[in-house]
Each structure stands twice: as C-alpha cells, then as structure tokens.
C-alpha cells in the first residue's frame, strides 16, 4: 500500500517546490514517522544552489527526486514487521546516517563510517515531507521536555556541537574559543554555558553577532579585528572551528594556548599548517571531527534534559511545508539562526 504525502523538492537551481510524493508502508525494521520538525542545514543549501545535473555529478551525488532535510524529528505513526523499539506514539529524532547495522563500525554506533550507509535527504528521502520512512535503529527517543525543533537540531548541528566540546577534553572552568557564530557555533556556546565553561566567539557577520548578543551571548567579536591577547592574558584552552574557512582555521591556531586543543568541525577546502610554529613549539593538539555516533546522540539528548540546555532560541524560524520554498530562499539569503520546517 502506498499513500501520498506533501514533500519539498529541489525543483531547479535555487528553487524549491512542494510536490506530492509516494510513501510506501514501513518494511521490516522500519517505522513511519509523522514529521514534526525538519531542520535546514548547510548541506541542503549546498545542493539548493546546484542544477539537477550538478547534483547527480556532485562529490556526494544525490537524486533530485530526494526530499531534502536530514535533521528529522517526529512522532512514530506506525511500525513495520519486527520493530520492538521505538513504539507507536514515541517522540523521536533521527540520526541522519543510516548504516547497515551489522558491520563493526555500525555495531559501535558509528553508522557515519559504514561503507553501506545511506543518508536521509541524500540517498533516501529526508524530513521535509509530511511523513517519512525511517529505519527504527536510527531513531533516538526524545523526552517531553525537548521540543521537536530542538530534537531536529540534535539530529545534526546541536549534537555535533556537544561532541566537539567532549572531544576537546576541555576541563571545568576552561575557556573555549568558538570560530563562527552560525547554528553550530551558537550551539557550542549554549552547551559551554550550560556546562559552566567560559566561551567567546568570533564571526565576521554583523547580523550574526547581533543575533548572538540578542540571545544572550555578548562575547562574540568581529573576526576581522579580533586579537585574543587584548581580551585575555592566556589564549584559549580549546578552540572549536565551525566556519570551515581558511581564515577561521588560521584564527583557531592563533587563538589556542600552549598545550591547547583545536577541534576542526566546519567543512570547507584547504588550509596550510606549518608544524614547527603551529604545533610542535606550542605542543598543540589538532582534532578532526565528523558527525557523531547514535550513542553520542542519545547522550546529548539526555544532557539537554539533565542540564535544561535551551537550544530553542537558536531556532529563528519555523515554517509550515507550504512556506518551505520561501524558507529555503531566506535561508539562502543568509538568514541568522536556524530555520526549521515544522508541523503543528
Ligand atoms: Zn545538518
Ligand atoms: Zn554498517
């Protein structure tokens, strides 16, 4: 049996449309989710700016027939054969890399590195549709205190931010410098505040700095005129680089103290390191980090509840699916904060 749902599609370069899409019944190990929130993320924008031909030939190719939105949260509407968890009615968010479930890396929860992983919105339908088929093991149950919009954010950027702090091994009371005040950078600031760390950030965009200040992060400085030595006697214990650009990466190395750690999170091309001054003489540790494991997402969800981590202020817009084309256009025009397609 197949039903029809409303779905967003990349209709052509720089334009999204609403179409009717087929939704099959949940197969073995699958669930049908009533989508409640689907976050728009940088990778959606990456494909938004492509022609269908460019999309099919991209480094990570995708079919134009795939619904965008890999940050998914919703309510389990029905379950397929063999599913014992989650249950109908559960509120869940979805880890967006869906591995085979049986290889070694999947069994550690690192579906991200599974050779046969499928990614929601890339090679299986994403969340910008009324209902979506989800592999049951990808679903993480959300407590009632966590909104669907925050749940969707935890399916990508907000758990990435949580993990960046964990991987930096910053000690209690330590200073975190965040490069970039986009949604991931703001999520790092939110986690840092909740965990009692000192956090400062830089961003070249006046709009982003103004927004950060509006939601309570006043230590966000213009990266074009930033010199950490004018702020603090010591450079930062850890730096979390979320911008993915060369200048941001350089600033990260310049901002970290001797024995400090830099975590590279932002995606983007190119960067030169000179090992002697950058790393060796200052005993600096560099870490790369990509997405997260399912257990780590479960931990982030628990921590949000335990510390009442309030990520909702970062979400600036919740649009219904009919307004999806306008939401995408505004997102592409550099809207601040996080945009989510939401269902009542
Ligand atoms: Zn994302
Ligand atoms: Zn696997």
Q: How far is the CA of 55 from the centre of ligand 1 (A)?
A: 18
- CATH number (domain holding residue 66): 3.90.180.10
Check pLDDT > 90 for residue 7: yes
Q: Which ligand is nearest to the CA of 106?
A: 2
Whether residue 274 sits in one domain with residue 130:
no
**Predicted pLDDT of residue 231:** 75
Which neighbouring-strand residues pair with 37? 73, 342
**Predicted pLDDT of residue 226:** 85
Please tell me the total count of domains within the chain.
2
Whether residue 168 sits in one domain with residue 108:
no
- What percentage of residues in the chain have a pLDDT greater than 70? 100
In the predicted model, what is the mean pLDDT of residues 105-132?
Answer: 96
Q: How far is the CA of 276 from the centre of ligand 1 (A)?
A: 35
304-321 pLDDT, tens digit each: 999 999 999 999 999 999
82-91 pLDDT, tens digit each: 999 999 999 9
Q: For the chain, give the mean pLDDT.
A: 95
The whole domain housing 50 covers 2-156+292-342
144-184 pLDDT, tens digit each: 999 999 999 999 999 999 999 999 999 999 999 999 999 99
**Predicted pLDDT of residue 227:** 83
Q: How far is the CA of 39 from the centre of ligand 2 (A)?
A: 25
Whether residue 313 sits in one domain with residue 279:
no
Is residue 288 classed as helix, strand or coil in its secondary structure?
strand
Q: How far is the CA of 322 from the centre of ligand 2 (A)?
A: 36
Neighbours of 53 (CB within 10 A): 10
Whether residue 50 sits in one domain with residue 21:
yes
Q: How far is the CA of 156 from the centre of ligand 1 (A)?
A: 5
**Predicted pLDDT of residue 164:** 98
Q: Is the pTM here over 0.85, yes or no?
A: yes
Would you place residue 290 in the very low, low, confident or very high pLDDT band (cuts 50, 70, 90)? very high
Q: Which ligand is nearest to the CA of 292?
A: 1
Whether residue 225 sits in one domain with residue 241:
yes
Which residues 6+ apart lie within 8 Å of 109 measured at CB? 293, 294, 295, 296
Q: Which ligand is nearest to the CA of 154?
A: 1
Whether residue 152 sits in one domain with residue 10:
yes
Would you place residue 121 in the very low, low, confident or very high pLDDT band (cuts 50, 70, 90)? very high
Domain boundary among 288, 309, 333: 288
The bridge status of strand 139-141 relative to strand 91-94 is antiparallel
Do residues 243 and 186 touch, judged by C-beta distance below 8 A? no
Whether residue 148 sits in one domain with residue 297:
yes
Q: Which ligand is nearest to the CA of 105?
A: 2
63-84 pLDDT, tens digit each: 999 999 999 999 999 999 999 9
Beta strands in 61-166 (DSSP E): 71-79, 91-94, 97-98, 118-119, 131-135, 139-141
Say how far apart CA 10 and CA 66 lie, in whole Å: 8
Q: How far is the CA of 231 from the centre of ligand 1 (A)?
A: 32
Say how far apart CA 279 and CA 283 lie, in whole Å: 5
270-289 pLDDT, tens digit each: 899 999 999 999 999 999 99
Q: How far is the CA of 73 from the centre of ligand 2 (A)?
A: 23
Do residues 264 and 179 touch, judged by C-beta distance below 8 A? no
* Nearest in space to 33 (alpha carbons), one of 134, 128, 151: 134
Whether residue 20 sits in one domain with residue 45:
yes
Do residues 248 and 230 touch, judged by C-beta distance below 8 A? no
Whether residue 297 sits in one domain with residue 284:
no
20-55 pLDDT, tens digit each: 999 989 999 999 999 999 999 988 999 999 999 999
In the predicted model, what is the mean pLDDT of residues 259-280?
Answer: 94
Would you place residue 232 in the very low, low, confident or very high pLDDT band (cuts 50, 70, 90)? confident
Domain boundary among 288, 306, 333: 288
Q: How far is the CA of 81 from the centre of ligand 2 (A)?
A: 21
Q: How far is the CA of 137 from the centre of ligand 2 (A)?
A: 12
Q: What is the 3-state secondary structure (H, E, C) of 149-161?
A: HHHHHHCCHHHHH
Domain boundary among 270, 288, 306: 288
Whether residue 151 sits in one domain with residue 259:
no
Q: How far is the CA of 178 from the centre of ligand 2 (A)?
A: 33
Neighbours of 221 (CB within 10 A): 18
Q: How far is the CA of 274 from the centre of ligand 1 (A)?
A: 31
Check pLDDT > 90 for residue 234: no
Whether residue 150 sits in one domain with residue 15:
yes
Say how far apart CA 314 and CA 310 lie, in whole Å: 9
Whether residue 50 sits in one domain with residue 172:
no
- CATH number (domain holding residue 196): 3.40.50.720
Q: Which ligand is nearest to the CA of 152?
A: 1
**Around ion ligand 2, which residues have CB less than 5 A away?**
99-100, 103, 106, 114
**Predicted pLDDT of residue 42:** 86
Say how far apart CA 287 and CA 285 lie, in whole Å: 7
Q: How far is the CA of 101 from the centre of ligand 1 (A)?
A: 21
Q: How far is the CA of 281 from the centre of ligand 1 (A)?
A: 36
**Predicted pLDDT of residue 160:** 97
**Predicted pLDDT of residue 335:** 84
- What percentage of residues in the chain have a pLDDT greater than 90? 91
The bridge status of strand 236-241 relative to strand 15-24 is unpaired
Say how far apart CA 141 and CA 12 lie, in whole Å: 35
Q: Which ligand is nearest to the CA of 340?
A: 1
Q: Which ligand is nearest to the CA of 46?
A: 1
**Predicted pLDDT of residue 229:** 78
Which tokens hold the place of 5?
A: 């749902």
Check pLDDT > 80 for residue 1: no
Q: How far is the CA of 195 from the centre of ligand 1 (A)?
A: 23
């Amino acid at each position: 049996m197949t039903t029809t749902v409303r779905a967003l599609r990349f209709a052509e370069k720089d334009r999204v449309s609403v179409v009717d899409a087929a939704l099959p019944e949940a197969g073995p190990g699958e669930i049908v989710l009533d989508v409640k929130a689907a976050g728009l993320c940088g990778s959606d924008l990456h494909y938004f700016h492509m022609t269908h031909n460019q999309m099919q030939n991209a480094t990570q190719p995708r079919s134009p027939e795939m619904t965008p939105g890999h940050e998914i949260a919703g309510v389990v509407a029905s379950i397929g054969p063999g599913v014992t968890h989650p249950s109908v009615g559960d509120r869940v968010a979805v880890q967006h890399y869906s591995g085979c479930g049986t290889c070694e890396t999947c069994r550690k929860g690192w579906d991200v590195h599974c050779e046969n992983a499928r990614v929601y919105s890339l090679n299986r339908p994403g969340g910008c549709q009324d209902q979506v088929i989800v592999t049951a093991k990808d679903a993480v149950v959300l407590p009632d205190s966590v909104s669907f919009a925050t749940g969707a954010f935890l399916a990508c950027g907000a758990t990435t931010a949580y993990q960046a702090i964990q991987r930096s091994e910053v000690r209690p009371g330590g200073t975190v410098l965040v490069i970039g005040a986009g949604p991931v950078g703001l999520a790092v600031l939110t986690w840092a505040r909740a965990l009692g760390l000192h956090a400062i950030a830089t961003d070249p965009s006046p709009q982003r700095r103004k927004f950060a200040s509006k939601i309570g992060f006043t230590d966000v400085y213009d990266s074009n005129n930033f010199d950490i030595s004018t702020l603090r006697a010591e450079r930062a214990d850890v730096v979390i680089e979320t911008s993915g650009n060369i200048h941001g990466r350089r600033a990260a190395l310049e901002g970290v103290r001797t024995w400090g750690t830099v975590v590279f999170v932002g995606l983007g091309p190119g960067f030169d390191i000179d090992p002697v001054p950058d790393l060796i003489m200052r005993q600096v540790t560099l870490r790369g980090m990509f997405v997260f494991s399912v257990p780590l997402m479960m931990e982030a969800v628990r921590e949000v509840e335990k510390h009442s981590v309030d990520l909702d202020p970062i979400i600036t817009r919740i649009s219904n699916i009919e307004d999806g084309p306008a939401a995408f256009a505004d997102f592409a025009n550099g809207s601040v904060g996080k945009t989510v397609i939401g269902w009542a």
